[in-house]
């Protein structure tokens, strides 16, 4: 059991989110499952609380894709095409402020 859980815990121990002037990037742990999104595709960003039973990791939830490693706080990126991507974070206020500062 340890041989299975140890690598999974290593790959999903953290979620790294970076906001640049034109793109938001996120990845798990040591760079596993890297994703990026051009900020020009983002229509709005908001704070959401996810359901505890959505779990951890990468999940498809009723509003769209959720990437999270702990807790139930996340930001929802509503895209111009109508889809939503949610990113779990322990510091949603600063992440929202960083994204909004680039969107303006």
Contact 104, 42 (CB under 8 A): no
45 burial via Cβ count (<10 Å: 0-12, 13-18, 19+): buried
pTM of whole model > 0.85?
A: yes
Question: Which domains does the chain show, CATH number per domain?
Answer: 2-103 (2.30.29)
Closest-CA residue to 77 (of 30, 37, 28) = 37
Q: What is the pLDDT of residues 12-65, one digit of tens each?
A: 788 999 999 999 999 998 877 899 999 999 999 999 999 999 988 899 999 999
């Amino acid at each position: 059991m340890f041989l299975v859980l140890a690598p999974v815990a290593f790959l999903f121990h953290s979620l790294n989110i970076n906001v640049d002037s034109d793109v938001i990037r996120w990845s798990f742990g040591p760079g596993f499952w890297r994703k990026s999104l051009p900020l020009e595709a983002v229509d709005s960003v908001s704070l959401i609380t996810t359901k505890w039973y959505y779990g951890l990791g990468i999940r498809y939830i009723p509003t769209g894709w959720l990437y999270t490693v702990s807790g139930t706080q996340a930001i929802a990126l509503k895209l111009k095409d109508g889809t939503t991507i949610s990113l779990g974070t322990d510091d949603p206020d600063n992440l929202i402020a960083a994204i909004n500062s680039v969107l303006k």
